[in-house]
Amino acid sequence: MKTNSIALITGANNGIGLELTRRLLGEGWTVLALVRSAFPSDDALIQKALANRQLRPYKADLADFSALQRTLDEIKSKEDKIDILFNNAGGSFPELVYSKQGREMHFELQTVVPYIIFMELKDLVKQGSFKTIINTSSSTMKMVRRFEPAELASPRTFKKLFGPYASTKLALSLWTREIAPLAATEGLTIRSADPGGNNTMRKGKNSGLPWYIKIAMKLVMSPPSKGASLLYEAAFGKHKMLNGVYLSNNEPTELKYAEAGRPVLELVQGIYKNEYAARAQ
């Protein structure tokens, strides 16, 4: 199928992001891939798309504001529109790790950076036909028992998957919901979505998964194509007109700690304004 539609996907070269990329390419989309490393060299569909520029990679360490700014500026200078933006990059770390800006890495990568990308690329999204942003969240947020926005950048404690990872995915969905009315005034629709449990383990990578989750991934969890399908449905399915919602199993779902939405949004807005945007001045 031929189309002139363009999607931007962060984390497009592994796991769910790669499967989503392959699906959109197969439907004739052009995919802009905001990635840190290369695509698989043995994937014929991917390599063909790279060769004919249906797949256009833009490389950056997303958690490094200098690198991120250079790459986002490059995208803005080279591309005319983005029909749909998938803020999909993320990951679970095995211990407390801090970004070059000094914040806990889950928070930087999964909460702050999607906001920066949204703010920096929304003008391109406004030029597109779908005018939609999908932020990849996680049902692990249901396990959050204590949520303090002021502690996201420097957590008191660490727990694999159900600690900072879960809290920062919750924070992502909270600011997504909070900013939706403002996005609507610019003609944009934004949602967060849980891609479900997927076997996204990579050989040789020291992930931040508890041992029992690793076993469950190998035995019972779906392949990444299932998660990609849920993100695809979040973008184009029956709830495509809803703004600000969090979709779990492709259904609107209430968020815990909803009262923290405004403080979380103000937190990421402050980082964007005082640290990221200030760099360009």
Domain range for 182 is: 6-280
Quote the DSSP letter at residue 98. B
What does the radius of gyration of the chain's CA atoms come to, in whole angstroms? Answer: 17
User: Is the per-residue pLDDT at 80 higher than 70?
Assistant: yes
Answer yes or no: is 26 within a domain: yes
Answer yes or no: is 1 within a domain: no
Answer yes or no: is 189 within a domain: yes
Confidence of residue 199 (pLDDT cuts 50, 70, 90): very low
Q: Which tens digit of pLDDT belongs to each residue from 204-261?
A: 555 666 545 565 556 556 668 899 999 999 999 999 999 999 999 999 999 999 999 9
Name the token pair of 187. Answer: 């003609």
Name the token pair of 144. Answer: 């959050």
Q: Which tens digit of pLDDT belongs to each residue from 116-148?
A: 999 999 999 999 999 999 999 999 999 999 999
Q: Is 83 helix (H, G, I), strand (E, B) or coil?
A: coil
CATH label of the domain that carries residue 117: 3.40.50.720
Q: Which tens digit of pLDDT belongs to each residue from 91-110?
A: 889 999 999 999 999 999 99
Name the token pair of 245. Answer: 């919602």
3-state secondary structure the chain: CCCCCEEEEECCCCHHHHHHHHHHHHCCCEEEEEECCCCCCCCHHHHHHHHCCCEEEEECCCCCHHHHHHHHHHHHHHCCCCCEEEECCCCCCCCCCECCCCCEHHHHHHHHHHHHHHHHHHHHHHCCCCCEEEEECCHHHHHCCCCCHHHCCCCCCCCCCCCHHHHHHHHHHHHHHHHHHHHHHCCCEEEEECCCCECCCCCCCCCCCCHHHHHHHHHCCECHHHHHHHHHHHHHCCCCCCCCCEEECCEECCCCCHHHHHHHHHHHHHHHHHHHHHHHC
Answer yes or no: is 77 within a domain: yes
Q: Mean pLDDT over residues 73-80, rounded? A: 98
Q: Which tens digit of pLDDT belongs to each residue from 41-60?
A: 999 999 999 999 999 999 99
Whole-angstrom Cα distance, residue 226 to residue 230?
Answer: 6
Answer yes or no: is 74 within a domain: yes
Answer yes or no: is 265 within a domain: yes
Answer yes or no: is 238 within a domain: yes
Whether the full predicted model's pTM is greater than 0.85, yes or no, is yes
Mean pLDDT of the chain: 92
Distances (CA, A) of 175 to 46, 114, 179, 186, 275: 33, 10, 6, 17, 18
Q: What domain count does the chain have?
A: 1
Length of the chain: 281
Answer yes or no: is 136 within a domain: yes
